[in-house]
Structures are given as structure tokens and as C-alpha cells.
């Protein structure tokens, strides 16, 4: 049955059928004609998968990020980052990484971060002589921090699939997100060490940057503080973040117009449609795997082989790097997690440790052609043909592999903070 799914999915992919239909058509064919499952059951399970309460937070966080992009929040974060680290070697690139980390605490949307921060900083960096290919790929790679530092849409998806509390996955991503940010900053310092350095920001400039960004910096306090203080669920905190984003843009920064609000709503609707279409169709694969007992068979096979945690991390890492080059992030979650989770349980790998390992490597798929949506997005900001920047990708893949090795070796980076909640 699984072979039938694989062959039909491959045929559809070769025909350039949209990925949600690849999942839907292939899995439905196997479920209806191979397993003889009733169509009413498939529709009910798909509906239940899309209406999980935790998933409501995804469009709301997307909206919060889009509103903050249109309302001037991103520019204040860039100003603060430039004032803090702009005088260091490669200061503009370091400021972009830091601004991405700040923005991560607002919306958790990778593409929104590239659009928000990259639009402000990428043209300036290129004008000042920074290597064009490097900074474009850096923008795409730095946005992976969004997938780790809460609130994160990938954490919400992981929780929905694995039933791990979203508060735990949010907390698990904090230290790994900082580790990835540090690795990117060290690599940037190495590559951009000879770039011109502007003078250190004066205290008045730094003070004004802090004061300008302060209302925006209250956002993560509201979101995370509300969740862990027991005031909001993840979905409720996302709704509050959206309202706060409107207040920031409309009444504090006074840059959010009605047109900008409409564009934010439209962008949110488009992204939400794509994500939930994939979820609705990808859940059929989980049904097929459940009824064919494929995960159990894989676990038994690995036990017979005597596979260790190290061997599994290597195999899973290579699999994720390969899939990430051809499939977008959300489908990879639904394609692999139903298989991986029983295996990590059998090997006694912590689910939160695997989350940060998994998310970092899946994020590398934003960089690797042919399906490198992160690079395409960053390149479009400065109207650069994506094929001209691929030469900078290998260095960042190495950074991603180093990050994954650290996560596999030090599980406490993912488990320590959640254990304190």
C-alpha cells in the first residue's frame, strides 16, 4: 500500500501537481480503493485535523506579523539592532540577524520575517558593498530563527501532530534559537570581517532607538507572559498580538493605513489557505500509515538492526536535508513525523529534543534548490535572480549541520527550560 502511495505521489510530483493534491490524491486513492475505508470517515478525520484549537493560532500569528510589517514595527526593530551592533565587523549583517530574532518573538512566520526585515536592510547592505549572494542567503537562513524562538508556527504544527503541549514546544525553542543565532553571527563575523564599519551609535541615538522599539518589544511580553501566566491559550495570545499590532501601527507608530490593513488581511488569508489545504490533505497519509501499521513495522525493523540514537539522528538528518530540497516545510512535517515519532519513542529520544533538531534541518530546505522558498523570497526583495545566489548556500548548510549536531549531542538545550515550567 505504501509503495502504491509512493509511486502515485511521485507521478503527480513529476507532473508538477500542487503538493496538497499530491498528498490528497495519492493517500485518498490508497485509503478508498486499497484499504476500503469509507469516504465519510476520511472527511471527518480531515475536518477534525483542521479544527484543532491549537491550529487557530497559526492564522492569528500570521496576521500579527503582517500587521507589524505594514505598521512600522519592523523598521523600529532594525533601528534598534543597528544601534546595538552596527559598529561591529559586518555590523549591518549582524543587525539583520538580531532583528530577525526580535521579530521572531512577534509572529513566528519565516516568510514574513524575510519580507519585513529583508526589505529594510538588504538594499542598504548591497549598496554598501556586502557580498550580494551572501546577504540574500543570510536573510533566508536567519529567518529560520523564527521557526524556533516562540511564538512559532512550526511549534504549533509539531504540537498538533505529536500532541506535545504547545507551551512545552514554545519553551523548547528558546535556547536552540539563540544557539542558531550565535552560529550565524560567528559565520557573519568571519565572512564580513573586512567590511566598512560605521561609528558606534551615540548614547542619544541608542536611547532613541530603544524608546522607539519599546512598544514593539512589549509584544513578546504580552504573548509569552500571557501564555505562561495562565491568562491566554496560544490561540488567544495570537489574537491579542494581532490587536496589539493594530494598536502599534495605527495609534502609536501611525504608519498602518487602511490599505495596509487590507493587504495584511489578504496576505494572511493566502498563507492560511495554503497551510490548511496541506493539513487537510496530508492527514490522509497519516490515516494510511495508521491502518497499514507502517510506523510499527519500521520500529520493529530498526530494533532488529540494533539502531542507536546516533545512527537514527544521522539517518533522520540526511532524510530531512533531502526532502527539504524538494518539499516545503509543512508537508515535510506531515510526511515524516508520523513515522519518526514512534521511532524516537522506542529509542528513548526526548520529543522536545527531536523537535529542535527536526525544525532546524527542515528549515535548511528554505535554502536548498530547487524548492528553496526562503532564497526565492529574499532574492525577490532586491530583484536578484535566485540562481545567482546559490553559490552562497553551501556555507549555510554547514552551519545548519553544526546546529543539528549540537542539538543531537546536548538534549538539555531543548528540555531544560520546559522542565522549569
Half-sphere CA count of 152, side-chain side, radius 13 A = 34
pLDDT tens string 259-311: 999 998 998 888 888 888 888 877 777 777 777 777 667 777 776 777 889 99
Angle (nearest 5°) at CA 6 between 5 and 11:
100
Tell me the residue range of the domain where 106 lies. Answer: 2-419
Residue 67 has pLDDT above 90, yes or no: no
CA distance 183 to 229: 31
In this prediction the pTM is: 0.87
Number of structural domains found in the chain: 1
> Of 176, 181, 180, 173, nearest to 150 (Cα)?
173
* 359: preceding bond cis by omega (within 30 degrees): no
Cα separation, 135 vs 122, in Å, equals 7
pLDDT of the residue at 12: 62
Higher pLDDT, 31 or 76: 76
pLDDT of residue 62: 84
Q: What pLDDT sits at residue 275? A: 82
Q: What is the pLDDT of residue 181?
A: 93
Mean pLDDT of all residues in the chain?
84
pLDDT at 114: 81
Looking at residue 119, what is its pLDDT? 81
Tell me the average pLDDT across 101-130.
Answer: 79
Question: What DSSP designation does 31 have?
Answer: I
Buried b (16+ CB within 10 A) or exposed e, 88-120: bbbbbbbbbbbbbbbbbbbbbbbbbbbbbbbbb
Residue 330 near residue 275, CB atoms below 8 Å: yes
Mean pLDDT (whole number) for 127-154? 87
pLDDT band at 13 (very low <50, low <70, confident <90, very high): low
**Mean pLDDT throughout 21-45?**
77
Query: Of 246, 279, 230, which Cα lies nearest the Cα of 52?
Result: 279
Amino acid at each position: 500500500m505504501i509503495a502504491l502511495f509512493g509511486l502515485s505521489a511521485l507521478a503527480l510530483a513529476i507532473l508538477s501537481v500542487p503538493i496538497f493534491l499530491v498528498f490528497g490524491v495519492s493517500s485518498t486513492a490508497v485509503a478508498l480503493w486499497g484499504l476500503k475505508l469509507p469516504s465519510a470517515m476520511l472527511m471527518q478525520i480531515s475536518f477534525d485535523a483542521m479544527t484543532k484549537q491549537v491550529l487557530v493560532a497559526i492564522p492569528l500569528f500570521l496576521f500579527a506579523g503582517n500587521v507589524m510589517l505594514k505598521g512600522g514595527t519592523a523598521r523600529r526593530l532594525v533601528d534598534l539592532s543597528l544601534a546595538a551592533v552596527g559598529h561591529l565587523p559586518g555590523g549591518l549583517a549582524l543587525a539583520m540577524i538580531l532583528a530577525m530574532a526580535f521579530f521572531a518573538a512577534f509572529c513566528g512566520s519565516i516568510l514574513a520575517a524575510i519580507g519585513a526585515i529583508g526589505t529594510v536592510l538588504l538594499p542598504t547592505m548591497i549598496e554598501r558593498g556586502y557580498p550580494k549572494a551572501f546577504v540574500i542567503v543570510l536573510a533566508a537562513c536567519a529567518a529560520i530563527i523564527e521557526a524556533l524562538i516562540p511564538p512559532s508556527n512550526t511549534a504549533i504544527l509539531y504540537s498538533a501532530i505529536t500532541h506535545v503541549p504547545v507551551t512545552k514546544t514554545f519553551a523548547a525553542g528558546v535556547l536552540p534559537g539563540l544557539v542558531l543565532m550565535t552560529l550565524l553571527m560567528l559565520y557573519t563575523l568571519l565572512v564580513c570581517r573586512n567590511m566598512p564599519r560605521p561609528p558606534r551609535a551615540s548614547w542619544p541615538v541608542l536611547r532613541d532607538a530603544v524608546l522607539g522599539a519599546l512598544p514593539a518589544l512589549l509584544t513578546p511580553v504580552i504573548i509569552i507572559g500571557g501564555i505562561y501566566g495562565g491568562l491566554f491559550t496560544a490561540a488567544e495570545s495570537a489574537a491579542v498580538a494581532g490587536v496589539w499590532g493594530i494598536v502599534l501601527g495605527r495609534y502609536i507608530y501611525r504608519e498602518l493605513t487602511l490599505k495596509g490593513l487590507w493587504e495584511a488581511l489578504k496576505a494572511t488569508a493566502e498563507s492560511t489557505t495554503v497551510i490548511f489545504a496541506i493539513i487537510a490533505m496530508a492527514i490522509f497519509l497519516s490515516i494510511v500509515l495508521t491502518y497499514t501499521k507502517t510506523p510499527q513495522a519500521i520500529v520493529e525493523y530498526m530494533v532488529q538492526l540494533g539502531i542507536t540514537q546516533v545512527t537514527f539522528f544521522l539517518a533522520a538528518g540526511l532524510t530531512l536535508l533531502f526532502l527539504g530540497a524538494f518539499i516545503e516545510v509543512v508537508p515535510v512535517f506531515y510526511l515524516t513525523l508520523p513515522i519518526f515519532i514512534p521511532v524516537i519513542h522506542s529509542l528513548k529520544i526526548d520529543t522536545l529534543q527531536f523537535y529542535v533538531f527536526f525544525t532546524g534541518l527542515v528549515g535548511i530546505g528554505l535554502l536548498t534548490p530547487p524548492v528553496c522558498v526562503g532564497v526565492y523570497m529574499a532574492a525577490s526583495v532586491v530583484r536578484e535572480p535566485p540562481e545567482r545566489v546559490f553559490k552562497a548556500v553551501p556555507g549555510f548548510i554547514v552551519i545548519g549541520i553544526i546546529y543539528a549536531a549540537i542539538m543531537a549531542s546536548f538534549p538539555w538545550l531543548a528540555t531544560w527550560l520546559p522542565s522549569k515550567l
